[in-house]
Structure 1
Amino acid sequence: MARILVGTCGWTDRALLASGWYPSGHRDAEGRLRHYATRFPVVEADSPYYALPDERTSCQWRDRTPPGFRFDVKAFSLLTGHPTRPSALPPDLRAHPRDASLRQEVWTRYARALTPLRASGRLGTLVFQYPPSLGPGPAAEAFIRTARDRARDWPFAVEFRDPAWWHPDRARRTSAFLTDLDATAVAVDTPQGLPTSLPPTAPVTTARLSVIRFHGRSRHWGTGTKEDRFRHAYTPTELSEWLPRIRTLAAATEEIHILFNNCCGDAAVRAAETMRGLLAAQLPHQRTTGRHVPT
């Protein structure tokens, strides 16, 4: 029986802070995470995508959350082939050629920083989100395999942004490739009918973990500002479309992480709460955890 954890992609979004979701007395950095962890048992940490994390921050995240809480941590942009500003790198690496040796050194520091989360059992998975420019093919597969080899002992999840990876003619090969890597295929919810739309495909590629990320259904997906791309308030009907897929995943994996990346304001936390209620009603025999109650 799968353990289903519901949460959001981040807990420090500026619009969430302004929404009033955090109560008085819980609006500083420590208070926000401690409060979030009483409401949800999993969160995605996206700040390591923008800058290399440090061990002190990981220790703080560990100490401010209860045992059993999970962090899914996004990979640093350089590791996934995204454009990376020199200022995002440590000063001693900024003049280094953008080559495999730099990625190896960046990975070493990234992994060292996250070791406290991993050692405490709080690391859910690393999330390697690849850019739309990384289309399927031998070169892309080699790039991903090299990343997996660096992280060979770590939980590893892959989200593609080029829909060609999940085209019906390619989907079976993509699933087999990720299975061979022991990498979780990240399922996504996005608007449909656009050139950049991703299909709501939810294959099982590891028995350990499945991940679903809900990005909203804005018609501006793939264009405009972050707020334009991800602004959406999910309805119960929209979320219910995923229940049969979640049921299938639950029969084949040990744990499922359902994460909401829609904005703005408190839209993500409200969607997570709605999904938790739907799961409790429709999958009553599953271990659905939307709120962690400290003992």
Structure 2
Amino acid sequence: MAERILVGTCSWTDRALVGSGWYPAGRRDAEGRLRYYAERFGVVEVDASYYALPGERNSRLWVERTPDGFVFDVKAFSLLTGHPTREAVMPGGLPADARDPAVLDEVWARFADGIAPIRAAGRLGCVLFQFPPWFRPGARAEAFLTECALRTDGWPVAVEFRHPEWWAEPPTTEALLTRLGFSAVAVDMNRTLPFSVPPVTPVTSPRLSVVRFHGRSIAWGTGTKEDRFRHDYARAELTEWVPRLRSLASQVDALHVLFNNCCGDSAVRAAEEMARLLQGSPATIDHKN
């Protein structure tokens, strides 16, 4: 395998990050922020596409403002993963009804059009499907995932499960994701909660693995957004992941390591530290371009 590790964060536009002072004066407009971020990291997750369908114009601008080799992991729109969706963000006045085949067809088409410039430029790292905590293993879930595979044929797709039962029997889940051609997302989070997802690191696609660091707040799933993501990773917490990340990188073409503890500048600082820790890895650390 051609080993490549890309380190980054799950947003570059988060309000708390923008207000933290991490972006220097003169680099705080939309273009300046992305260019500054892309000088320091090789991947970013587009989380805005979860809250509203992505637009072709923005996708073109993102490609133009980042160097060759920089990639975007685009989070799937909320309606496509079974999350509640506000009517106000639906296109053309469509109802937020995932049970309506016509609505789903239109939303899928608009999502595909929205990310088309990123795909055409060869800059799509993956489309991330983060499923809700109530999405649990079973026949209905497997049918849903199979439909997703048909809709995303030819796309790189990564799947994060938030119900811990998915990893109660890892071989079963691994086999399903492998059959569908999806990359499994490993997570780091607080491990003491009833709904904590264990830090398993299965490889289900040879082209990509993804690890998302959510922080270790005990308010995960219950508090405000700031409460859920307020965590500054200690060096020891990051160091314990280094052997796992090296192992993953040796098995896939690319590994994406993304920090989601988006509270102030915590995510970018943790990403910078992780990149430094991985400098001794046999894989190629490509957090700068």
**TM-score under structure 2 normalisation?**
0.97
Q: Deviations over 1:99-135 (max 9, x none)?
A: 2332122111100111100010111000000000111
- Counterparts of 1:96 and 1:83, CA distance in 2: 9
SS at match of 2:19: helix
Q: Deviations over 1:47-92 (max 9, x none)?
A: 0100111111101111111111000000000000001111110134
Is the CA contact 1:104–1:150 (under 8 Å) kept in the aligned structure 2? no
User: Equivalent residue for 2:70?
Assistant: 69
SS at match of 2:128: strand
Over the residues paired in the alignment, what is the CA RMSD in angstroms? 1.2
Aligned 1:14-163 pairs, distance under 5 A: 14-94=15-95, 98-163=99-164
- Counterparts of 2:254 and 2:107, CA distance in 1: 29
- Counterparts of 1:240 and 1:274, CA distance in 2: 10
- Counterparts of 2:33 and 2:98, CA distance in 1: 39
- Counterparts of 1:177 and 1:5, CA distance in 2: 26
- Counterparts of 1:100 and 1:215, CA distance in 2: 33
Is the CA contact 1:87–1:94 (under 8 Å) kept in the aligned structure 2? no
- Counterparts of 1:260 and 1:135, CA distance in 2: 25
- Select between 258-267 and 84-93 the one with higher mean Cα deviation: 84-93
Is the CA contact 2:79–2:96 (under 8 Å) kept in the aligned structure 1? no
Aligned 1:194-273 pairs, distance under 5 A: 194-273=193-272
Q: Look up the equivalent residue of 1:291 and give its one-letter code.
A: K
- Counterparts of 1:100 and 1:179, CA distance in 2: 27
Runs of 4 or more consecutive aligned structure 1 residues displaced over 4 Å after TM superposition? none
Q: Deviations over 1:190-210 (max 9, x none)?
A: 011111111001100000000
Name the CA shift for 1:210/1:228 in 2 (closer, same or farther; >3 Å): same
SS at match of 2:39: helix
Q: Deviations over 1:21-57 (max 9, x none)?
A: 1111110001100111101110000001001111111
Q: Look up the equivalent residue of 1:153 and give its one-letter code.
A: G
Is the CA contact 2:10–2:262 (under 8 Å) kept in the aligned structure 1? no
Is the CA contact 1:214–1:261 (under 8 Å) kept in the aligned structure 2? yes
Is the CA contact 2:95–2:103 (under 8 Å) kept in the aligned structure 1? no
Cα offset, 1:95, TM superposition: 7.5
Q: Look up the equivalent residue of 2:189 and give its one-letter code.
A: T
Q: Which consecutive unaligned segments of at least 5 residues does structure 2 have?
A: none
Q: Look up the equivalent residue of 2:176 and give its one-letter code.
A: F
Cα offset, 1:263, TM superposition: 2.9
Name the CA shift for 1:238/1:97 in 2 (closer, same or farther; >3 Å): closer
Q: Which consecutive unaligned segments of at least 5 residues does structure 1 have?
A: none
- Counterparts of 2:261 and 2:68, CA distance in 1: 27
